[in-house]
Amino acid sequence: MSFENMELWFFTGSQHLYGPEALKQVAINSNELVKGLNDSKRIPLRIVFKQVLTTPEEVRKLCLEASASSSCVGVILWNHTFSPAKMWILGLRSLTKPVLHLHTQYNRDLPWDTIDMDFMNLNQAAHGDREAGHMHTRLRMNRKVVVGHWSEKQTQDQIGIWSRAAAAWADWQGARFARIGDNMRYVAVTEGDKVAAETKFGFEVNGYGIGDVVRFCQQVSDAEVDRTCQSLQEQYATVPELKKGGKRHESLRDAVRLELGIRGFLSDGNFKGFTTTFEDLHGFKQLPGLACQRLMAEGYGFGAEGDWKTCALLRACKFMAQGLKGGTSFMEDYTYHMDPKRPLVLGSHMLEICPSIASGKPKMEIHPLGIGGKDDPVRLVFDAGPGEAINASLVDLGNRFRLLVNEVTCIKPPKPLPKLPVARAVWETKPDFKTALSAWIYAGGAHHTVFSYPITTQHIQDFADMAGIEMVRIDDRTDLVDFQQTLRTNEIYYHLAPGLGRI
Ligand code: MN
């Protein structure tokens, strides 16, 4: 995972009305503005100033170039002067990259003492960007509008969040996710329309037999298993029985062989994520708990029980979160603490929680597992640390997709959980326990989620807007009556939107 080869292209709108000297100044100022944004370090992608656009031909040519470019993951538009918007129609219609409309101006302050008509001619974003915005709305363009002087931290942060979403969106295009085995039988929410997903989101999900992975496990050398076991023992607090010479060390070797085999399969097929199911483990000695945990920590998307939507969303969130503090994991709302004074959710899974969210050094342990009918699996056990976080869910409603976010506050578990042999997180939901859970259930949110500290509701909102899908949020402002009405209204809007030319 890297933002290394990703760029944002910066287009400045203008026209020939003001003479060549003015256009020269527009280009100089645009370059300075872009340099200021790049120097801020608040935007993780490099912004490249492309051109001052003054004719329909130039706009169209550059939009086609941006659409075809493999390095351009988004376009930032700004009008230094007025730029008549009819000349943008053809270009914008052919632009396939996410768009951010930056409504700023070169100067922060009005030069009260010296302002004259030359200054007025040159600095017209206040109305030039409204002409542009009118056309964007009339074309029903999905875009992000950011308002503020380009030197402001808040402006730069908004661009930064959007650019992370744009990068993850680019990462999804052509991404491959492997569904190893099929779905957990009879489960509804982990199913979905993979054809619709590829059409809408640009990633492919295909099924693979467990034997395809077992073949890679068999090719793993003993020396490689030895080396990895050694490095795991150093990395995690390992129980003595799993250590070299311990009576269950062979189980660790089996777990490591699984991990190396799955990694080989994923890298051979150029996959960005995978799903497993405990109902199809033929040829696996144990359920791949440790393997899933460690592969997630490397940036792979993962979904248990065949959940390819959560797998894809996890990959997107991990991609967005690069370089930010705090981890991101596959998660499941497992069980509740229903004390009315302080109700809590205990999030976990039977094994597969990403150690990137661990508050301390994870412990490597082995315990029996009631399902799957295999040998006891090795797993990493830890508590997730305190902090603001989100749970996000991508659901297939049959005719369309919905993204759903609940903002939560993760806390240190109020008491130790000495008998619980799996990784866990304990959180309070916003705005409160009953409203959040009611809203989640009314919205049809899954029991599997992506849990993340660094990714915020705004990242998910920007990402959903790029995809052109519904996004509903459950946060400290959520009122249940309004929320239900939003769902009803959205149902109509997203049904009609394709006819409005929006999607
Ligand atoms: Mn599950």
The pLDDT score that the predictor gives to residue 370 is 81
Q: How far apart are CA 137 and CA 234, in angstroms?
A: 57
Q: Compute the distance from residue 252 Cα to the ligand 1 centre, in Å.
A: 23
Distance 305 CA to ligand 1 centre (A): 6
d(CA 185, ligand 1 centre) in Å: 12
* The predicted structure's pLDDT at residue 497: 86
Percent of the chain with pLDDT over 90: 96
Confidence category of residue 25, pLDDT binned at 50, 70, 90 = very high
C-alpha of residue 454 to centroid of ligand 1, in Å: 23
Residue 217: pLDDT over 90? yes
Return d(Cα 421, Cα 418) in angstroms, integer.
Answer: 8
The least confident of 112-116, 148-152, 313-317, 372-376 is 372-376
Confidence grade of residue 205 (pLDDT, cut at 50, 70, 90)? very high
How many angstroms does the Cα of residue 441 sit away from the middle of ligand 1? 17
* Amino acid in the structure at residue 208: Y
Separation of 307 CA from ligand 1 center, angstroms?
8
Cα 273 to ligand 1 centre (Å) = 16
What's the 447 CA to ligand 1 centre distance in angstroms? 7
- Per-residue pLDDT for 503 more than 60? no
- Among candidates 130, 59, 47, which has minimal Cα distance to 90? 59
Looking at beta carbons, which pairs linking 408-417 to residues 24 or more positions away fall under 8 Å?
408/345, 408/436, 410/384, 410/385, 410/386, 410/453, 411/344, 411/386, 412/359, 412/383, 412/385, 412/386, 413/383, 414/344, 417/383
Q: Is the pLDDT of residue 312 over 60?
A: yes
Residue 109 main-chain phi, psi, to 5 deg: -100, 150
Q: Is the pLDDT assigned to residue 431 strictly greater than 70?
A: yes
| 70 three-state secondary structure | coil
pLDDT at 372 over 80: no
Q: How are beta strands 448-452 and 363-366 bridged, if at all?
A: unpaired
For residue 27, CA distances in Å to 80, 81, 94, 484 come to 9, 11, 24, 49
For range 103-112, the mean pLDDT: 97
Q: Around 485, how many Cα atoms within 13 Å sit in the side-chain half-sphere?
A: 5
Residues 6+ positions from 354 with CB-CB distance below 8 Å: 293, 296, 297, 302, 327, 328, 329, 330
| Mean pLDDT of the 38-66 span | 97
Alpha carbon of 453 to ligand 1 centroid (Å): 21
Task: State the distance from the centre of ligand 1 to the C-alpha of 332, rounded, in angstroms.
Answer: 6
pLDDT of the residue at 307 = 98
Query: What is residue 502's predicted lDDT score, i.e. its pLDDT?
Result: 62
Q: CB-based burial of residue 443 (10 Å sphere; 0-12 exposed, 13-18 middle, 19+ buried)? A: buried
According to DSSP, the residues that pair with 429 across neighbouring strands are 408
**E-state strands within 112-172:** 144-147
| Confidence check: pLDDT of 31 > 70 | yes
Interval between CA 325 and ligand 1 midpoint (Å):
26
Asked if 349 and 224 count as a contact pair (C-beta separation under 8 A), the reply is no
Residue 181 has pLDDT above 80, yes or no: yes
> Residue 499: is its pLDDT beyond 90?
no
Report the C-alpha gap between 180 and 182 in whole angstroms. 6
Digit-coded pLDDT (tens) for 127-167: 999 999 999 999 999 999 999 999 999 999 999 999 999 99
Q: Is the pLDDT of residue 498 over 90?
A: no
Q: How many whole angstroms from 182 Cα to the centroid of ligand 1? A: 14
Q: Is residue 88 within 8 Å of residue 60, measured between CB atoms? A: no
CA of 331 from ligand 1 middle (Å) equals 8
**What pTM, to 2 d.p., does this model score?**
0.97
If you ran DSSP here, which 8-state letter would residue 477 be given? T
> How many angstroms separate the alpha carbon of residue 410 from the centre of ligand 1?
20
Going from the Cα of 415 to the center of ligand 1, the distance in angstroms, rounded, reads 24
Q: How far apart are CA 18 and CA 21, in angstroms?
A: 8
Average pLDDT of span 205-231: 96
Distance 247 CA to ligand 1 centre (A): 31
CA of 293 to the centre of ligand 1 (A): 14
CB 385 within 8 A of CB 299: no
Write the CB contacts of 488 (distance below 8 Å, at least 6 apart in sequence): none
> How much is the pLDDT for 12?
97
Residue 172 C-alpha to ligand 1 middle, in angstroms?
23
- For 184, which DSSP code? P
Give the Å distance between the CA of 478 and the centre of ligand 1: 27
pLDDT reported for residue 95: 97
**Is residue 289 over pLDDT 80?**
yes
Which range among 230-239, 329-338, 369-378 shows the weakest confidence by mean pLDDT?
A: 369-378
**Other Cβ atoms closer than 10 A to 176:** 15
pLDDT on residue 242: 96
Distance between Cα 187 and ligand 1 center (Å): 10
- Hey, which bits of 36-138 come out as E strands? 46-53, 72-79, 99-103
The answer on pLDDT for 175 being more than 70 is yes
Expressed in angstroms and rounded, the spacing between residue 278 Cα and the centre of ligand 1 is 10
Q: What is the pLDDT of residues 316-337, one digit of tens each?
A: 999 999 999 999 999 999 999 9
Asked whether 463 and 169 are in contact (CB, 8 A), the reply is yes
Q: What are 334-367's pLDDT values in tens digits?
A: 999 999 999 999 999 999 999 999 999 999 999 9
What is the distance in A from the centroid of ligand 1 to the CA of 335? 12
Cα of 207 vs centre of ligand 1, distance in Å, is: 19
User: Mean pLDDT, to the nearest integer, of 424-431?
Assistant: 98
